[in-house]
Structure 1
């Protein structure tokens, strides 16, 4: 190897250690523990004159010494190092490269002047916004993204699911055709907010390099990791192109266009009856009094326990076409036709299951069972009319008298002032592999049979756990609604959110709520159980007749702990 020749970063391979390269440090970062304590070892991204990049790792044994030498944006001669392949399990790699540099005790580093080399100041591998959806499904690689700041929310403080205080910076960037949500956390968010205050040219154009692409509330959301670096109005040709496009008024209008929220108008019944076909699928609000219930139509139907849509029998078995599954034990749902009026006219209205259950505080199945008990013979569900079963039920039409929400209404990051009236149907401790209790799990059920997983972290257990008893009903006020992480497995329900109770949560006993079910299930047909083994995100409910029972056996798990199974 010639003493005057330097190796290209692209040519580096395993099996040799006497390489020498001339490079610029374009990223420098340290990893950290979950508590925020930084590691002594650190990482850099190196760029050579041919715009080739590679990740280099500086181990603890050299970290203190080389931290004084290696500086961001400076150029260096680096000799004698090893090249290693990434492990298949290595996540959040900055570059789409299968190898990295590892410094050794023999590695030498020497700074060189700017005029000695012709190395670019930086290099980016931008991903189009349309590609981010696919990137959000993997955790192997980070990405470089560019966009115009369209919306910038106020920097805020919040408390995470572990009860720890955090800072959050949220904004939206756009490329003119789509919007992307950005969330920066804690010290990184603080640094970003301070830098944004110094930005002179508007609208601000951001380059976010080595960012993590994930999802939140079903939408792509970009976040920071230790390797992430943000460039504000950076001098780069792509930034220049966007700035030039912003001189076009049509592009500016497209960039900053906001979807107009259509207000739902309050209209009289007489007006509704004059609507033409252009109003089909439109929503309006009207205030009416229910006069009577249609006594000639069936008041209920069989519904899928998953999608809640109406299902029919196919060869004596209920089949849900939307879910593509058999439904062994369908739900019974309301569908009531009523005559309602205001001071202008009267109108026929179809009330769905949720509306009727909210009004009369009783499930259709319970109502059917009560009728059968009174009349000493089964009701014909398919032909049961409102006169037969429904006529004695009192309807409460003042919806404002319901001072709480339903589980189906819960949305993350909207408020902490939620109010639920629920039954605790399950309660169990969360125990880690060392045998320590790290929290408490609950299942909450509301009057509409909505189910949700509730979590009480260890730091709040002493305050809350004695207030809850399995099987009892409660009013629960002030809690956090959180989105499950993309990697969260073994969820109790096919649901994207869960509840976290914390030190400000208020719990009181709820009286007179026997209409809230003691248990709610969504059974999976036994013939479909094999299909569920292909994923581990959700748990399932099954029911069957016990035909055989094996004795209790003992075994040791992967942590060498003695366990028992039956």
Structure 2
């Protein structure tokens, strides 16, 4: 005889003989004073209805190893309680499940059981919310294109993350965490920062960006080549993103004056870009390069003589850039008197096909003709401050310094 399972939507505190079949999609431990207090989980049934489940400390040993993410379980003998004590609710359900010593749980093999790990909210839907429920969490997905750290007087940090979706539209996501922790908290504040839209883009021709004032401007150009005047990437400090020097198996950051056991590989690409009026060299840093390439610098596949030679542009990077027409937001500098003084720094990119096509056609990118493409011949060390090949390294012992 087939077992009859109660649907999550039918659970109620007054019903004590329910048996459910669910799949775990979230599992995390709560600790106080270094000791585990409970295991918290998010479950959903075959209909996709979600509910929060708590395994108290006394049952963590007996049941915690069974309750794992992506595992289907059947549970009987449990309490149904009001879901009104949690500050940040993992699910929008009025009830939660609490296990106790007589609770029974067993793993099931059910390959046909549906798995719905995420319920994503569209960025446009988030921005349209007027009376947001700040107690209920939700899922978002996007490309991480920027972040900054904020520290307050209580030694607590806020990490402001900038996420970009496929349109693209940018959102600032503030995540509160403890200064000494890597993961915490459940507190998310999401606000619309800015978007790449028709109202925001006023595209200039390349020969119009030489100005006597500091500022910003959008240009629409086709990438003709990737310049190797410097290198296509560098090893960066895990704190400040400046270039580090490797000494034995450690990395030294001159800006932070600290050693670390690891460093991050980050992009630093020089793109030669043309439109119907002129050509210019653009310096594209890590987050904008990730937007264009869809992967981190450490994920680029190197072949043959590309291995160990950063001055050789990998074919994967060239094939992803050359011939592509992109919208670039560049930093204008009053001290740049001609287009080829030094590369312009790219602040933002837009490779959305529809948006690019609109401005490419209005900017003459589809017209025929050859452009005189030449990379910048002058030094741009001023723009690469902190990335010098020569770094002063303090010796671990003594007062001497080596170069």
Question: Shorter-chain TM-score category?
Answer: 0.3 to 0.5
Higher helix share goes to which structure?
1
> Bigger relative contact order, structure 1 or 2, given CA contacts below 8 A and separation 6+?
2
Higher strand share goes to which structure?
2
Structure 1 length-normalised TM: 0.31
Structure 2 length-normalised TM: 0.43
